[in-house]
Every structure is written in C-alpha cells, then in structure tokens.
Amino acid sequence: MEDRLLFLISAPRSGSTLLARMLGTHSDIHAPAEPHLITPLAHLGYYEQVDTAPYDPIISRAAIHELVDQLPGGEADYLSALRAYSDDLYRRILDSTGRRVLLDKTPAYALVLDFLAKLYPNARYVVLTRNPLALWSSAVQSFYDGDHEAAHRHNPLLERYVPAIARFVRQAPVPMHALHYEALVQEPAAELRRICDFAGLSFEPEMVDYGQHSEARGSAARGLGDPVTVAKESRPTTDSLERWLQDMAGDPSKVEQAQRILDGLEDEDLAVWGWERPQLEAQLATVPETGARRRGRGLSRHTLERRVLVTLRRNIQNRPSLGRMVRRLKLLCDVLLR
C-alpha cells in the first residue's frame, strides 16, 4: 500500500486544503477529508501516550512495552500490525474510487513525524511550508476571531510546528518533496508539475482550475481544513500573501507578540521553512502603525461557530460564575450519558 500513499505534511493554515483540492482534481489521486488515522496510532503508549482517557494510560503504556518485548520481531512486528490496520482502511477507501494514489492531508501528522516515517518509510511525502508570520496571523483570524492572546494561550502553533517540520525536512528519512505556499499560488502549474513528477504521475493542467473540475472528478478534500476560502475560489490566488500585514495593522500588541514568537524560533528552522530571520523581521517592521483592526474573515457558519467558542472561552476565564455553570452542565451530561 505504501507505493499508493501520498502524505501532505504541513502546519494548519499553510494552504494544505488548497493543495489537496488541486491534487484531488487529478484523475489518479483521491483526496478525502482529513482522516486523522495515524495520530491515534502514535499515542497508543509505545511511542506517545495520551494524558487522559477512559482507561488507564499509564498501565497501558507499561503493558504495550511488555507486549512488544514478547513479539519475535519486537518493534518491527508491532509496526507491521499497525500498518496492516491502516493499510486495510486506506486500501478500502482508495479501491472504492478506482484511483491509484490516496492523498492523506492531516496537519496533525506533523507532530508525530518520527512515528509516521517508521510506519510508512517508503510512502511519498509532500511538505508544504508558508511564511510563518502569515501562517500565524491566518490562524489567529480564522480560529480565534482575531484574539491573538487567546490563540497563543490555547495553541502556540509556530513553536510546535516549525521545529518539528524543519527537523523532518533536514533529516529527510523518507522520499520527500518540499515546496512553499507562496510559490504554489504564484506559479501553480510549475509547482504542481514538480509534485506530479515526484509522485510518478503525469501533469494534468486542469488541476490548477480545481474549482471547475474537482466536483466532476469526485474530489473530497473538504471536512476538516479550510471550509471557507478555498471553496470560494476556483484557482489559486495571491490575495492572501500580504493579508497578514493588514491583520496586524494598528495593533502593536500583535506585532510585539509576533516578534516574541520569532525570538523563540531557531534561525536554522526558519531557514528550512524558506525564510531568514532578517527577512521576516524586515517584513514585520512594515506593518502599518494605523489601520482598522480586523476581527475575523467575515460571517459564515464556520466563522460564527469559532466566534462563539472564542467568546465563551474568554468569558469562562473572566467570569467564574459562567465557568461554574458550564462545569455543572458537563457533570449533568456525564451523568445522563454514562
């Protein structure tokens, strides 16, 4: 099954949904919604473990190590068993479409890359990176309605993903093709041709105009991911390249936070992403000192849900009475559902 798998590795808000939609337009590629199939397998206790579960993860971790020690082939047998599970699911999904290659685009895999590389060392990997300042601003606007402090408190995205992906690219333990989001939207045909060459597929020009062809070919790269921007367009645009400057305009606290985040990242990791520190800091210095502060990307079902969640989280922190009410409601639901 490995020779039929193409993994798209990226941080959230890197443009992976756009790339998956374009690749899913190819007549030989099936690009389903993010399956999140591998992440749980990485946290069964032998490599990583969960902190809370309806079972005892501490005992499970000890037990799985003892079990693997008893296998004739040890870790190799364990990986083979896990691969049999994921192979079967991947194969069933792919065989039902009649296509040759399955694209798994799940950003969370970037945090379990060592495990993924052990599980599928011979699959092909496409690694997509983006200007980290633009990536962070997009996450703040899209997931947290512009609340940069809440965004960083809940998920320090760059600090988690930049080192993990940079180390993976440097070590290159698997067949890999790396590209930048900026190049993808500026020269989509050239970048898609390179990916097709890497994957052993012929280039199909209609992939660029994914919005006009993906429905006819059954592309399903939806579900989790960007449900708004990519669906509005029919082909890549460069509109988002400088948008982050306006997102931070007139808000010194956002600029200061971005600088603090950059200070915590390694020069070598930033360079692997395609950006030198002086270049990023020079861009940050061009953020307009005045401008209307933006609060999200406009109203849709997705943005409304995010806005409600951000507001409730903020109020739970600032209003203890609301937090107590939510906890009581959770307790009531737990009792009713047990």
C-alpha 51: how far from chain center: 22
Contact present, 36 and 89 (Cβ < 8 Å): no
pLDDT digits (tens, 9 = 90+) for 265-321: 999 999 999 999 999 999 999 999 887 555 555 555 555 555 566 566 666 666 677
CA 156/CA 174 separation, integer angstroms: 27
32 and 123 assigned to the same domain: yes
Complete DSSP assignment for 83-104: HHHHHHHHHHHHHTTT-SEEEE
Query: Amino acid identity, residue 3?
Result: D
CA 259/CA 324 separation, integer angstroms: 36
Task: Answer whether residue 254 is part of any domain.
Answer: no
pLDDT score at 191 = 98
User: What is the chain's pLDDT, residue by residue, as a tens digit (338 residues)?
Assistant: 999 999 999 999 999 999 999 999 999 999 999 999 999 999 999 999 998 888 899 999 999 999 999 999 999 999 999 999 999 999 999 999 999 999 999 999 999 999 999 999 999 999 999 999 999 999 999 888 889 998 999 999 999 999 999 999 999 999 999 999 999 999 999 999 999 999 999 999 999 998 886 554 545 445 555 655 666 778 888 888 999 999 999 999 999 999 999 999 999 999 999 999 999 999 999 999 887 555 555 555 555 555 566 566 666 666 677 777 777 787 777 767 76
CA 137/CA 273 separation, integer angstroms: 17
CA 90/CA 96 separation, integer angstroms: 10
Out of 211, 238, 265, pick the residue that ends a domain: 238
The CA–CA distances, whole Å, from 129 to 178, 191, 326 equal: 8, 13, 38
Ramachandran angles phi, psi of 76, nearest 5°: -60, -40
Tokens 């599980």 label which residue? 119
137 and 43 assigned to the same domain: yes
196 and 315 assigned to the same domain: no
- Please list, residue by residue across 155-183, b when 16 or more beta carbons sit within 10 angstroms of its beta carbon and e when fewer do: eebbeebbbbbbebbeeeebebbbbbbbe
188 and 101 assigned to the same domain: yes
Tokens 């890497």 label which residue? 198
CA 252/CA 289 separation, integer angstroms: 7
Contact present, 250 and 290 (Cβ < 8 Å): yes
208 and 320 assigned to the same domain: no
Strands of the sheet with 101-105, listed across from one edge: 29-30, 101-105, 5-9, 124-129, 176-180
Task: Answer whether residue 170 is part of any domain.
Answer: yes
Residue 103 structural domain: 2-143+157-238
Helix, strand, coil percent values for the chain (each to nearest 5): 60, 5, 35
Contact present, 107 and 14 (Cβ < 8 Å): yes
Contact present, 1 and 85 (Cβ < 8 Å): no
Task: Answer whether residue 55 is part of any domain.
Answer: yes
184 and 63 assigned to the same domain: yes
Tell me the CATH number at 198.
Answer: 3.40.50.300
Q: Exposed, middle or buried: residue 235 (CB in 10 Å: 0-12, 13-18, 19+)? A: middle
Count of structural domains, the chain = 2
Task: Answer whether residue 244 is part of any domain.
Answer: no
* pTM of the shown model: 0.86
209 and 62 assigned to the same domain: yes
pLDDT digits (tens, 9 = 90+) for 89-104: 999 999 999 999 999 9
232 and 332 assigned to the same domain: no
Dihedral Cα 215, 218, 222, 226, nearest 10 deg: -40
Contact present, 127 and 176 (Cβ < 8 Å): yes
6 and 134 assigned to the same domain: yes
Out of 238, 267, 289, pick the residue that ends a domain: 238
Out of 238, 262, 283, pick the residue that ends a domain: 238
Q: 190: Cβ–Cβ under 8 A, 6 or more apart, which residues? A: 183
Task: Answer whether residue 284 is part of any domain.
Answer: no
Q: 22: Cβ–Cβ under 8 A, 6 or more apart, which residues? A: 188, 192, 207, 208, 210, 236
Task: Answer whether residue 279 is part of any domain.
Answer: no
Query: Amino acid identity, residue 317?
Result: Q
Contact present, 16 and 111 (Cβ < 8 Å): no
Q: What is the DSSP letter of 71?
A: S
224 and 321 assigned to the same domain: no
Angle at the Cα of 149 (from 148 to 151), degrees rounded to 5? 65
Contact present, 283 and 133 (Cβ < 8 Å): yes
CA 14/CA 77 separation, integer angstroms: 35
324 and 193 assigned to the same domain: no
